Amino acid sequence: MVLSDDISRFVRAAGPGHTEVQARMAAFAREHDFPNIGPESGAVLRLLARLTDAGTVFEFGSGFGYSASWFLRGGADRVVLTEFDADELDRGRAFMREAGLADRCEFEDGDAMATVERYDGPFDVVLVDHQKERYADAFRAVREKLAPGGVVVADNVMRGPIDFDALLRALEGDAAAPDADDDRTRGIAAYLDTVREDDAFETAVLPVGSGLAVSTKTD
């Protein structure tokens, strides 16, 4: 366990509750073991949308729209949802209709890496939450499309389908970590290297939910 249960409980208890539709989304995720971002990180997404006065948010990997629902709660004008599982995207359409939010959503079926090529931006916030080995490519695909002051937020940088200890060793300078066959952990390590080495961005890692890397464009 990376983040102490007590701290997670504290952050959740002190944070915002679910709307009625979000509660049903969360129940569906629990029932089907679907890895959505959770309410602690959802509160951060809402905050980022509010602080950037977000016009457009772009998501890499939307599932059935739980993370998008938090951006919309933060006042985002519109969210581009991408998902290559058509059933999940249909479920997202239904949830968003029930929440009265569908008119602020663009539902894009297919590979998010191809979808992003059809959008010029500017994006105020981008969520990276798809295949871990493609996180750095996603960042490179959007860095020029971000508005000044825009934010890229990546989930699962501390917890999820990754090896926390190997990632920590890599961050602390062990060139051998993580294992060559652990593509997902290597993907997160490469992502963190990419954003931290980019002079046009400032990155902070938040130990919230599964761990968020928040990178702000400074020029």
Ligand X SMILES: C[S@@+](CC[C@H](N)C(=O)[O-])C[C@H]1O[C@@H](n2cnc3c(N)ncnc32)[C@H](O)[C@@H]1O
The residues that touch ligand X, with contacts defined as CB under 6 A, are: 35-37, 61-63, 66-67, 82-85, 88, 111-113, 129-131
- Position with the least CB separation from ligand X: 61
Question: 85 or 174, CB closer to ligand X?
Answer: 85
125 with 57: CB under 8 angstroms? yes
Hunting for tokens 């990376």 — which residue is that? Answer: 2
- End-to-end CA, the chain: 37
Calpha distance 103→151 (Å, rounded): 23
Token representation of residue 210: 């599964």
Question: 84 or 119, CB closer to ligand X?
Answer: 84
Write down the least CB distance from residue 138 to ligand X, Å. 9
Pairing relation of β-strands 212-217 and 201-206? antiparallel
Token representation of residue 74: 């933060």
Calpha distance 101→77 (Å, rounded): 10
8-state DSSP, 132: G
Write down the least CB distance from residue 30 to ligand X, Å. 13
Write down the least CB distance from residue 165 to ligand X, Å. 22
Write down the least CB distance from residue 130 to ligand X, Å. 3
Question: 62 or 216, CB closer to ligand X?
Answer: 62
Question: 41 or 203, CB closer to ligand X?
Answer: 41
Calpha distance 63→28 (Å, rounded): 12
Question: 52 or 67, CB closer to ligand X?
Answer: 67
